[in-house]
Amino acid sequence: MSQIRAFLAIDLDDDLKPKINRIIKEFKKTDARIKYVELTNLHLTLKFFGDIDTDGLDLLEEAISNVVSQFDSFKIKIKGCGAFPNTNLIKVIWVGIDDDAIIKDLHDSLDKEFVRLGFDKDRKFSTHLTIGRMKSAKSKNKVKSTIEEFGDVEVGEMEVTHITLKKSTLTPAGPIYEDLKIFEL
C-alpha cells in the first residue's frame, strides 16, 4: 500500500502572480529570514490531507465530485495582507481573500464529506494564500510594518472555475506539486 502527501486547492490565476511577486519583493527588502512560496505554487488550500493511502483516492475523488457538482464557478477578490498567528508572532505571511463566503461554504461542504471518510475536521479554516514563512525573528519589525503597509492591498479578482487535488513531494529545494485530478465547478 503506497502513500502520497496530498491537498485540495484553488490555484491562483497566472495574471495575478506578478502583482503578488511585487508584494514579495517588498518583503525581501526587509532582509528577514523568510522562505517564500514559489509563484508557480501559489494556491488557496481547501484541505490538507497529509499522507494518504493511494487505495482510497477513488473514494476521495468521488466525495469531491459530489460536493463540487453542487457549486457553480464564482469570483473571488484577492485583497489584504496579514500574518499567522498574528503580527507580533509572525510564522506565516499571507495575502487574503475578500468576501469569502462561497469559499467557506465550499470548504464546509467538502469537510463534512472528508470527516465521513475518516479525516479530521478542520478546526479553523481561513481563506488565504501563503506567500512566505518566517524562519527567525530577524527584522520582525520591518516585516510587521511591511504587512501593515500592504494591509489593504488590492491584488485583483479571478474566476474560480475548478479545484485541484494535488500531490506534494517534499524536496530540499522546496515542495513539488503535481495535479492528480481537476474538478470543474
β-bridge pairing 176-184 and 162-169? antiparallel
What is the rounded CA–CA span in Å between residue 72 and residue 62? 18
Selected catalytic residue, list 37, 43, 79, 90: 43
Cell matching residue 86: 498574528
Strand partners, 89: 86
Do 3 and 38 meet the contact criterion of CB atoms below 8 Å apart?
Answer: no
Annotated catalytic, 162?
Answer: no
What is the rounded CA–CA span in Å between residue 11 and residue 45? 9
Selected catalytic residue, list 128, 147, 160, 165: 128
Whose cell is 486547492? That residue is 9
**Consecutive H or E run containing 66:** helix 57-68
Mind telling me the catalytic residues?
43, 128
